[in-house]
Amino acid sequence: EDEGDELKALTGHGHRQAEDSARWVAKLFAQKKVPGKRALLHSTSRRARETAAKLPGHLPGVDVWNADLLRETNPSSNPMRAEEAFQRLFVAPEKGEADTLLVVAHNNIILYLLMRAAGVPVERAAQAWRLFHLRHASVTRIEVRSTGARQIAFVGAAGHIPHANVTWHNIHGADMSAWKGGRPDRHKFGGRMVVLIRQATSSGEAGREQDRRVAEHMKGLSEYMVSGHLTVTCTASAQSTGTAVAKLFKTAPQVLPDSIVEYPEAAFLQFFTPPTAHSRDTVCMVAEDGPVLYWLLRALQMSPDDAQVAATSYRIGHASVTFVNIKSDGAMKVVAVGDTGYLDDDAPA
């Protein structure tokens, strides 16, 4: 433990984010969305300890452990430590057994674990983690079956954190939020933000409520994450959700051809193009889970054939939100996958 690390404490916003996430995780347990048997494992760094400390207050009796193996690392230059963490944590449970391991760690190592859980080989995972960038105190859920099969439910979910508290860049130097009227120290995403929304459930009033909530969530994101210059596209079966979002941005959705559901590559080539330098716009694409996952995996540099196969490794909920940021040089970063945290009581199963 070096002295520099001990000086890196959570900011006021960091403490609020950690508390928001602890409450949301506790809600997943209360709603029996995750197995009740649980343990908490955290990195030994000060920020991780302070984040993890919020959880026992909402999860009485949880076993708490720390692991130096989870300290921040650069998997590109030191993949073996990250790989050791993966091999120790992602052990298939015995048949009939179910438990939940809560891990509080850091952006880089979490993303390496995600890549390996998705079946990416060590050599590629040591580089592919750079295709993501997680928001602070975000939550990622990966399920491991007794057969060893793994499925990703969501990545970097932060919809449960109030918009005013969301941040994604670590602060270097003093926390300046006090000089900003209490607002967090953050910069807006530049380039093009592609927002992929799985259409709301089709069950009557529940679907209409999800339409309303996802539209309001998108409007809140316009304060910092998406631009007011927003284009909404949707498949025919997702028009209800697409229309709800477009209405709040005073525009109309562009309905994609029916063939897009079966052949989503055309829409990927159309909307995932690099924006012009210094521009900032948003494309919102509303569709079924199949096209949404295909577009995500193509953004993660998979071939069309590989994207079709890899989609089975993900299970995203209705009205979930996925973000892909595209820079003018063509570089892409995934910020979140399948985030439904903003739905409150409709926490993902």
Domains 3-157 and 188-343 share a fold: yes
pLDDT of residue 60: 93
Positions of the chain with pLDDT under 50: 1, 3, 176, 178-179, 346-349
- What is the per-residue pLDDT across 264-273, written as a single tens digit (0 to 9) for each? 999 999 999 9
pLDDT of residue 5: 66
Class of domain 188-343: alpha beta
- What is the per-residue pLDDT across 168-181, written as a single tens digit (0 to 9) for each? 877 655 554 544 55
The domains of the chain are located at 3-157, 188-343
Class of domain 3-157: alpha beta
18/236 Cα distance (integer angstroms):
39
- For the chain, the average pLDDT equals 91
